[in-house]
Amino acid sequence: MIGAGMDILSRLLAAWGSLPAGDRAAIIVSVVAVAVVIYQTTLMIVQSDVLKRQVRLMERQHELLERQLAQRASFDMSYELRHHSDDTFLIEFRLKNTGTKAASGFYWLILTPVNEFHELLRPHVTSRVFPAELPVEIEAVKYRSTYVYCAEPLYAGRETTVAVSYLMKEKARAPFAVWWQVTSEGGLSPDDGELGKITVAG
């Protein structure tokens, strides 16, 4: 076997030596060109595979980002009037997390009309009142602004009372507006960035 192989190699070398120099150069150039084409084709296949993997990775990252954006806290404010005395209501302002993610901490803002509320807001009936900001005017009505940070988490779908106050029943006979807004890591609520409006009526 070895001898036969050596014989074939000798014949090839003899044939190669008998070729004119120009033919030998042409064959070398052709072989090099074929090798370059094979290398480029292999490189293109590898690059195509890498590109496909990068596209799949980007698609997964995009899906993950969409899921993260869809999971956010969102809030809605409501109120409830409770009988307190013959001439007074206890009013509770309730906040519900209507989003898909818990809020680990958030700020709430409630603006109550100065003329209708004779008391400031407080966390509950046995607590001291919250500090209030200077009055602001909305639609020609003066409002008292209460802005408070709530560190307690509010889980998705849960509701909590954030503030209470007392309201004279005669003041509640005519409907009036209370404005609100919540700031959390998920952004502002209401989602349009404007103040939310609650119409209070007894």
Compute how many other C-beta atoms are within 10 angstroms of the C-beta atom of residue 91: 24
**CA dist 61 to 51, 52, 65, 101, Å?**
15, 14, 6, 20
Query: Based on the structure, what is the number of domains in the chain?
Result: 2
What are 36-82's pLDDT values in tens digits?
778 888 888 878 777 777 877 776 776 665 555 556 889 999 999 99
Residue that finishes a domain, picked among 41, 70, 99: 70
For residue range 100-145, what is the model confidence (pLDDT) as tens digits? 999 888 999 999 999 888 788 989 877 788 888 888 999 999 999 9
- Mean pLDDT, residues 33-37 taken together: 76
The answer to whether residues 50 and 133 touch, using CB atoms and an 8 Å cutoff, is no
Shared domain for 9 and 96, answered yes or no, is no
pTM of the complete model? 0.65
Token pair in block for residue 102: 């818990």
Q: Beta strand pairing status for 176-184 and 106-113? A: antiparallel
At residue 27, φ and ψ (nearest 5 deg) are -65, -45
Q: Look at residues 38, 53, 70 and tell me which one is the last residue of a structural domain.
A: 70
* Angstrom distance (rounded) from CA 174 to CA 201: 6
The least confident of 21-35, 87-101, 151-165, 167-181 is 21-35
Residue 164 pLDDT grade (very low, low, confident, very high; cuts 50, 70, 90): very high
Please tell me whether residues 160 and 80 are part of one structural domain: yes
Residue 188, token pair as written in the block: 């502002």
